[in-house]
Amino acid sequence: MIYWEIFLAFFIPGILGYGGGPASIPLVENEVVHRYGWLSVSEFSEVLALGNALPGPIATKMAGYIGYEQAGILGAAVGVFATVAPSLILMIALMSLLYKFRDSPKVKRMSNYVRPTIALLLGVMAFRFFAESYEASGTIQTVFLIIASYLLLEKWKVHPAYVIVGALTYGAILL
Amino acid sequence: MKQWDLFIAFFRVGMLGYGGGPSSIPLVHKEVVGKYRWLSDDDFSDILALANTLPGPINTKMAGYIGYRVGGYTGMMNAILASTIPTIILMIVLLTTLTSFKDQAWVQGMTKAVLPVVGVLLAVLTWDFLSKSQKGLGWPIAIFLILASFLFIEILGIHPGIVIALLLAAAVLKKDKPKPEKGGTQS
């Protein structure tokens, strides 16, 4: 029943991920790392890092890759389908209806209410990555990499793809 | 030629859209409104607004819907495949190559060094969602919801999907307040 599991693992993040691709990342992590155990935290971080460094939508890249790892090409197809189809069908089916309620406070409230929970999920994930890094590379390297990547990404606005390539090179040589 | 145009338009968007869905929206706009004139500016902004209120990745919703408007169900499939397949193939090729060298010291070093960088990216996203929450709800409610989700998800171990579903239900069921009066007059 691997295909059914892949479908569920990506259907749930797809349908609950209010706020686009990034909002669904912690939900994907919850399914593939914690529920199904397909990847470890650090394997998930590699997939996420590479997903971030490559162009295109993040949610479908992760679904396609993880689906492929678990069950080949068909698994990839199932993962992408589960990510894309539900919200697209909703969009096409409800277009006229939604259009009418576009300015309704109820519809606007939905994203508002969900945001703090997504923020928490993302924060917890960030914490897990830092903790894992602390165990793998120690305090000094972890703090150095955090500060360096923060400055590069946020202060000097270097594109994440370059920062990740830089970190990979640094790790290949020095860690 | 319409299907071919659709394919090329969304292929370009997919391959150039670094930084995930939101960063590719201006690219979609450029192709769909600017280059091929499939939609007017107003149509495009309506579709964008709607896609934003629905769950799921924004990019594929836009691609699928615009593909559907332009070329029916074939157009829909075409646009989705063009925006997702090329980057997925890249990802599979790169990651499987990396995995076959998994036990080399330098590959393990790469894996270690990337952890804190992804952590920072996530922390920045966290802050993004936090400041949007503050704007939408104000600090007291936002902090309350964060603490409540921490309790339910991390301490009680409830699936985040259930928490989110309950919040969505609350958003729909809550009675709408009458619009606030200007000038602070009280009724």
The pLDDT assigned to A76 comes to 94
**Nearest one of A120, A116, A136 to A45, comparing CA atoms:** A136
Diameter of chain B measured on Cα atoms? 73
Cβ atoms of B95 and A51 within 8 Å: the answer is no
The pLDDT assigned to B145 comes to 93
Cβ atoms of A51 and A57 within 8 Å: the answer is no
The distance of A2 to chain B (nearest Cα, Å) reads: 19
pLDDT above 90 (res A141): yes
Cα-to-chain-centroid distance, residue A90: 22
Contact A124 B22 (CB under 8 A): no
The distance of B112 to chain A (nearest Cα, Å) reads: 6
Cα-to-chain-centroid distance, residue B163: 20
Cβ atoms of A173 and B109 within 8 Å: the answer is yes
Please tell me which residue of chain A has the smallest CA distance to B145: A116
Q: Where are the beta strands (DSSP E) in B113-162?
A: none
Residues of chain B with Cβ-Cβ distance to A65 below 8 Å are 88, 91-92, 95
The distance of A5 to chain B (nearest Cα, Å) reads: 16
Residues of chain A with Cβ-Cβ distance to B16 below 8 Å are 55
- As a whole number, mean pLDDT of residues A47-52 equals 85
Contact A173 B106 (CB under 8 A): yes
Where is pLDDT greater, at A101 or A136?
A136
Q: Domain residues of chain A, as ranges? A: 1-101, 105-174
pLDDT per residue as tens digits for the range A124-134: 888 988 998 89
pLDDT tens track of chain B, all 187 residues? 789 999 999 998 888 766 566 667 878 888 999 899 999 888 888 888 778 777 888 888 899 999 999 999 999 999 999 989 988 998 899 888 877 887 888 888 888 888 898 889 889 888 988 998 898 889 999 999 999 999 998 899 888 888 888 888 888 888 776 655 444 444 3
Quickly count helices (H) and strands (E) in chain B. Answer: 7, 0
Give the separation between CA B52 and CA A81, rounded to whole angstroms. Answer: 20
Quote the pTM value: 0.76
Cβ atoms of A57 and B17 within 8 Å: the answer is yes
pLDDT band at A174 (very low <50, low <70, confident <90, very high): confident
Closest CB from A121, A149, A160 relative to B19: A160
pLDDT above 80 (res A114): yes
Diameter of chain A measured on Cα atoms? 58
